[in-house]
Chains A and B, each alone.
Chain A
Amino acid sequence: MRSNLLFLLLGGLFIFYACQPNPYRQGKDLYGAHCAGCHSDDGSGLAKLIPALDTTKLKLREPKELVCLIRNGLPFDSLTRQQMPANKEINEVEMTNLINFLGTRYIHSERVVRVEEVQAMYTACQSWKHKD
């Protein structure tokens, strides 16, 4: 009887967590704090001024490109007068969650990055330059 109850409880918990729309809660919070101001809560960006996130261009990016883009930002574009700022205060663990959140929520990528990979990317980002 008691073990049945325990089984039900565990099963219920499992289903509850499995049904969460996005498992990367920290990534979601980071998105809200650092990205949503410009890219909008739904990732739709702002016309031709700020890019939307679910574009094929982003989908084709290697995770390293995305990590360095977020970490280093982009130079000021004198034509649109927009600038993607650097986000140096986001650490490797946070970045991992952010990238995986973006992957599942906006870019619809199957690829999941691990913290160790992101740590290596952080070193590589020091010499990274954006290529459009």
Chain B
Amino acid sequence: MRNRSLFFAIIALGYLSFCACDSEPKPLPILGERDVKNGDTIYHQVPDMVLIDQDSQAFQLSKLGDKIVVADFFFTSCPSICPRVKKQMLRLYDKYKTDPRVMFVSHSIDPRHDTPSVLKTYASNLGINTVDWKYVTGDKDSIFHLADQYFVSVVDDPSAPSGFDHSGRIILVDKNRHVRGYCEGVDPESVTGFFKTIDQLLAEEYAK
């Protein structure tokens, strides 16, 4: 009899601690290298580069105000993975487009062809509102460097379709330009899990 109640107590305790873990998940990590200066930890930040958007307006992360950012890198004539990634970006966009705390940003890595007007046409064919989803580009070296800072690999590759090889990652950046998570845009299941990551960041960033 005593043995049995002990058994139930252990089960109950296990269950309770499980619930506790579940309701308070570990904070999302800040990805990238870190530095310690004068006792303070300096985390990796995405550079606050001035880019140009689909309306030929200057675009800068620091000017977005209090928003977290869901970002990807692509180019309009990309025949390989981009349609798959865009489809998944649309899935995310459909959920968060009415949420003023979330901004979507697609970076074109082909500034030679993807001028603001080309990006504007592309966005309108995709059926999205450029108030919540910006299409941006900049000079090629800057965009390639920026992709690197977002931990997205982008290389010139003459053997790849249309001359670029890039990864289909979708990246989540917090209000302080820290990278807090990513998923693989070519894998719908990875994106399914990403909804939770975004929700968690929203909860963390807007708790106070």
Which residues between 39 and 54 of chain A lie within 8 Å of chain B, taking CB atoms?
A: 40, 46-50
Q: Is the CB of B77 within 8 A of A46?
A: no
Least CB distance from A19 to B in Å reads 27
Least CB distance from A48 to B in Å reads 4
Q: Return the CB mask of A75-115 against B: 1 if under 8 Å, else 0.
A: 01001111101000000000000000000000000000000
A-B contact count (CB 8 A): 42
Q: Is the CB of A40 within 8 A of B122?
A: no
Known A80-B121, A80-B125; contact A46-B86, beta-carbon cutoff 8 A: yes
Tell me the interface secondary structure of chain B in the complex. helix
Enumerate chain B residues within 8 angstroms of A37, measured Cβ to Cβ.
79-81, 83-84
Tell me the interface secondary structure of chain A in the complex. loop
Q: Is the CB of B126 within 8 A of A40?
A: no
Q: Kindly state whether residue B76 has any CB partner on chain A within 8 Å.
A: yes
Q: How far does the alpha carbon of A119 sit from the alpha carbon of B166 in the complex, in Å?
A: 38
Q: Kindly state whether residue B145 has any CB partner on chain A within 8 Å.
A: no
Q: How far does the alpha carbon of A79 sit from the alpha carbon of B76 in the complex, in Å?
A: 11
Q: Is the CB of A38 within 8 A of B79?
A: yes
Known A81-B122, A82-B77, A83-B77; contact A48-B127, beta-carbon cutoff 8 A: yes
User: Which of A38, A47, A76 has a CB less than 8 Å from the CB of B125?
Assistant: A47
Q: Is the CB of B83 within 8 A of A49?
A: yes
Least CB distance from A39 to B in Å reads 8
Enumerate chain A residues within 8 angstroms of B83, measured Cβ to Cβ.
37-38, 40, 46, 49-50
For A79, the closest partner residue in chain B by CB is B121
Q: Kindly state whether residue B203 has any CB partner on chain A within 8 Å.
A: no
Q: Is the CB of B77 within 8 A of A49?
A: no
Q: Is the CB of B118 within 8 A of A81?
A: yes
Q: Kindly state whether residue B87 has any CB partner on chain A within 8 Å.
A: yes
Enumerate chain B residues within 8 angstroms of A83, measured Cβ to Cβ.
77, 79
User: Which of A40, A47, A85 has a CB less than 8 Å from the CB of B79?
Assistant: A85
Least CB distance from B120 to A in Å reads 12
Which residue of A37, A48, A81 has the most chain B CB atoms within 10 A of its CB atom? A81
For B126, the closest partner residue in chain A by CB is A47
* Chain B interface (Cβ < 8 Å from any Cβ of A): 76-77, 79-81, 83-84, 86-87, 90, 113, 118, 121-122, 125-127
* Chain A interface (Cβ < 8 Å from any Cβ of B): 37-38, 40, 46-50, 76, 79-83, 85
